[in-house]
Amino acid sequence: MEALILFGPPGSGKGTQAGRLVAHYGLTHLATGDLFREALARRDPVALEAQDLMKAGRLAPDELIGQMVRGRLDRLLGEGRAAGVIFDGYPRNVAQVGRLDAILRERSIGLLGVVALAVDDDLLIRRLAGRRTCPTCGRGYNLYFDPPKVENRCDYDHTELTGRPDDNEATIRERLRVYRDQSQPVLDVYRRRGDLEEVSGEGRAEDVFRELTGIVDRWTNARG
């Protein structure tokens, strides 16, 4: 089994590209947010402890997050069905880089590499602030890139479109600031190791995916 790490700020298309990479390579998507929700549903003691800490206004300790990651990897290895994994949202800080190094080493899982999607902040803001959804049929729009034919009305059922309350410029800029503060030191570690590739996420999704698969294929062949 081998691991790939995918980075990208909100609005970079990371979720879309992670889904495509999972389907293309037969990988298992490991997003720490999903792991946490799954663990809570199982009443996992580790997740319940983390939830209690978060309710008290504290961050979940790195060790608790690491335990969830180890548990999921061990289940995948035991089942023997995963060609590899793609990490999304982990590691989030330099301490977690060291923990992930140990987790992978203990399980003889190789790190293919780290890919970071780079997108200009102004474009990210337009992508996020322009999002609108039809509450009736679920169709999505973007006021800047895929607007409805009639202002703020769904093309299909003419329902008034809605947006997320946190999709405003001030909130988005703060989310991007937090992402940069968290991710930059992590990316610097992998850059120094020679494990990092940065890809522009500003083009068409198909073009970004083509560049990503080119990188992953090159890494795979180099290790092969």
Residue-wise pLDDT for 180-197, tens only, equals 888 899 999 999 999 999
Q: What is the pLDDT of residue 40?
A: 75
Residue 131 bears catalytic tag: yes
- DSSP β-ladder status, 196-200 and 110-118: parallel
Catalytic residue among 99, 126, 127, 131: 131
Q: Which of 75, 164, 173, 177 is catalytic?
A: 164
* Per-residue model confidence (pLDDT) at position 36: 73
109-138, pLDDT tens digit by residue? Answer: 999 999 999 999 999 999 999 999 999 999
Cβ atoms < 10 Å from Cβ of 157: 11
Q: Are the C-beta atoms of residues 179 and 119 closer than 8 Å to each other?
A: no
For CA atoms 27, 32, 33, 36, the dihedral sign is: positive
Give the whole-angstrom CA distance, residue 185 versus residue 132.
33
Q: Does 139 participate in catalysis according to the annotation?
A: no
Q: What angle do CA 56, 61, 62 make, to 5 degrees?
A: 155
14 has catalytic annotation? yes
Q: Over the stretch 14-51, which tens digit does the pLDDT of each residue have?
A: 989 999 999 999 999 998 777 777 777 778 776 777 67
Beta-bridged to residue 132, according to DSSP, are 141
pTM of the model: 0.84
| Angle at 98 (CA atoms; ends 74, 110), nearest 5 degrees | 50
Tokens for 210, please give them.
């083509």
Q: Which of 20, 92, 153, 191 is catalytic?
A: 92
Strand, coil or helix: 52: helix
Q: Which CATH superfamily is domain 2-119+188-223 in?
A: P-loop containing nucleotide triphosphate hydrolases (3.40.50.300)
DSSP 82: -
- Annotated active-site residue in 14, 72, 126, 132: 14
Active-site annotation holds for 92? yes
Of 20, 153, 175, 191, the catalytic one is 175
pLDDT tier at 54, thresholds 50, 70, 90: low
